[in-house]
């Protein structure tokens, strides 16, 4: 089963502390980095106040391989934020909004509160992911089959609906540039390319 892609931002101003932070992440929430790293980006600047290097990394893991035949168009996401915590929050939100799979044959009339599509789209691990049905965004609450899922909120009706399963899974490229602002805080510029297909 595939999972949504994760990108963790890590920063420290001493190499040993940076190495320890990466090791701690790999030993805990980022254990999948040991087998499922999808990509990474790195940057560094010198803090003029103490002449120390400040290290920044974006480590991408989990998700899935880029497919041979696309299920969603290639999408570029740019996150620009001050401070690491704000950048991580904005990046997580942007990843959750990437369209991973898109179909145009959604049927919301067959079962109340369910969406049915004409070919495999859903997995059990999709519970909790955002889904857009027509113009309405909902959250998947239950996996029924590969072609059927239930969702939260008011029921949607209609046939021939565009259905978008949100949450990035496929990483094509990742880059990051961090600059030191006048107040000494880092400003993150993170660009990622997601979904699409193999060339």
177 strand-pairing partners: 189
137 vs 139: CA distance, rounded Å: 7
Asked if residues 71 and 100 have their Cβ atoms less than 8 Å apart, the reply is yes
Q: Which of residues 199 and 135 earns the better pLDDT score?
A: 135
190 vs 41: CA distance, rounded Å: 9
99 vs 105: CA distance, rounded Å: 16
Q: Which of residues 119 and 49 earns the better pLDDT score?
A: 119
> For the chain, which residues make up each domain, given as ranges?
6-97+168-194, 102-166
Residue environment code for 118-146, b if the CB has 16+ CB neighbours within 10 A, otherwise e: eeebbbeebeebbbbbbeeebebeeeeee
Would you give the DSSP letter of residue 170? B
The string of pLDDT tens digits covering residues 134-146 is 999 999 999 999 9
The string of pLDDT tens digits covering residues 8-57 is 999 999 999 999 999 999 999 888 888 889 999 999 988 777 778 899 99
Would you give the DSSP letter of residue 93? H
CA 78 vs CA 130, 138, 143, 174, 192: distances in Å: 20, 24, 31, 10, 7
The structure's pTM equals 0.92
């Amino acid at each position: 089963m595939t999972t949504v892609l994760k990108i963790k931002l890590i920063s420290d101003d001493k190499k040993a502390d940076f190495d320890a932070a990466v090791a701690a992440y790999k030993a805990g929430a980022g254990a999948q980095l040991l087998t499922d790293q999808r990509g990474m980006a790195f940057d560094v600047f010198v803090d003029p106040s103490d002449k120390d290097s400040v290290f920044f990394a974006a480590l991408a893991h989990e998700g899935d391989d880029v497919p041979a035949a696309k299920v969603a168009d290639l999408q570029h996401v740019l996150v620009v934020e001050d401070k690491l915590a704000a950048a991580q929050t904005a990046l997580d939100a942007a990843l959750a909004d990437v369209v991973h799979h898109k179909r145009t044959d959604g049927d919301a009339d067959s079962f109340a509160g369910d969406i049915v599509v004409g070919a495999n789209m859903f997995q059990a691990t999709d519970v909790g992911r955002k889904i857009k049905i027509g113009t309405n965004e909902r959250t998947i609450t239950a996996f029924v089959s590969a072609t059927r899922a239930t969702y939260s909120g008011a029921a949607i009706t209609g046939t021939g609906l565009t259905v978008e399963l949100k949450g990035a899974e496929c990483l094509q490229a990742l880059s990051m540039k961090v600059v030191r602002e006048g107040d000494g805080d880092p400003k993150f510029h993170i660009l990622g390319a997601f979904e699409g297909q193999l060339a």
